[in-house]
Amino acid sequence: MWGALAASSLLVGAVLALLRDWSARTVGLVLGFGAGALIASVSFELAEEGVRGGGALAVGAGLALGALAYALADRAVEGYAARGAGAAGLPLAVGALLDGIPEQVVLGGGLAAGGSVSVALLVAIFVSNLPESIGSSADMLGSGRSRTTVLGLWGVVAVVCTLATAGGAVAVAHAPDGVTAGIQGFAAGALLVMLIDSMIPEARKKGGELAGLATVVGFALAAGLSLLT
């Protein structure tokens, strides 16, 4: 249920893109807010919790593997997209998967380990999905994709991300602390590369000089929720 709620923002973003046009500035500010929330989640929900539960070595190994895996997969997606406009929809969907799967695996792992949802991580995932889905859906519609195709693509992505939450819960429930910490480190590494290579530059480009302030607000909110929960 929590995984479906987090992933539902992908479909919400697609629907919002269908209903109206969103300015680049608005999308950029939401991207900045989501980036700040994810930075807090990486710091407090992934790295800190991982080190506390399984040790720094496991988290460090996971960080390196996650960063490398995301960088290689992202390069493959960009190469596929460069082949032509006709392939535009699939790389966008795959890019969302690259972001979403590690996030939601950790969300499910946290549920299995602690028995309760991380509100901070849930908010970070939900908010960060929105601008990605809105912007990507708008691009697909502009390139001639039908509304049914756009909604179908994001529906598939949302379902896979939801299943990743269940997979994370099962993996953590049957894994030793070191493996759990490695999974958290892997997700943190993947998300950090995504933030620096994609999300933060896009937020600055579209949101302008207010993008940094929006990022701080997102970080403060998610950090506060982490402390409260």
Each residue's pLDDT tens digit, 176-199 = 878 878 888 888 888 898 889 888
> How far apart are the C-alpha atoms of 4 and 2, rounded to whole Å?
5
The pLDDT of residue 87 is above 60 = no
* pLDDT tens digits for range 108-125: 877 776 666 677 778 878
Alpha-carbon dihedral angle through residues 139, 201, 203, 217, given to the nearest 10 degrees = 150
Tokens of 116: 């309760």
Output the CA angle 53-54-55, nearest 5 degrees: 110
* DSSP state for residue 1 in the 8-state scheme: -
* pLDDT tens digits for range 139-167: 778 777 788 988 988 898 899 989 988 88
Residue 84 pLDDT: 55
Q: Residue 139: which residues within 8 A CB-CB, separation 6 or more?
A: 88, 92
Q: Could you list the residue range(s) of the whole structural domain that residue 169 is in?
A: 2-15+24-228
Residue carrying structure tokens 């919002």: 16
> How far apart are the C-alpha atoms of 88 and 90, rounded to whole Å?
6
Residue carrying structure tokens 């493959």: 76
CB atoms within 10 A of CB 209: 7
Task: Establish how many alpha carbons lie within 13 A of residue 70's alpha carbon, considering only the half-sphere containing its beta carbon.
Answer: 28
> How far apart are the C-alpha atoms of 220 and 229, rounded to whole Å?
14
Residue 83 pLDDT: 61
Please, which pLDDT band fits residue 65 given cuts at 50, 70 and 90?
Answer: very high
**This prediction's pTM:** 0.79
- Please write down the HEC assignment for all residues of 129-180: HHHHHHHHHHHHHHCCCCHHHHHHHHHHHHHHHHHHHHHHHHHHHCCCHHHH
Residue 191 pLDDT: 84
Q: State the amino acid at position 171 in one-letter form.
A: A
The tally of domains found in the chain comes to: 1
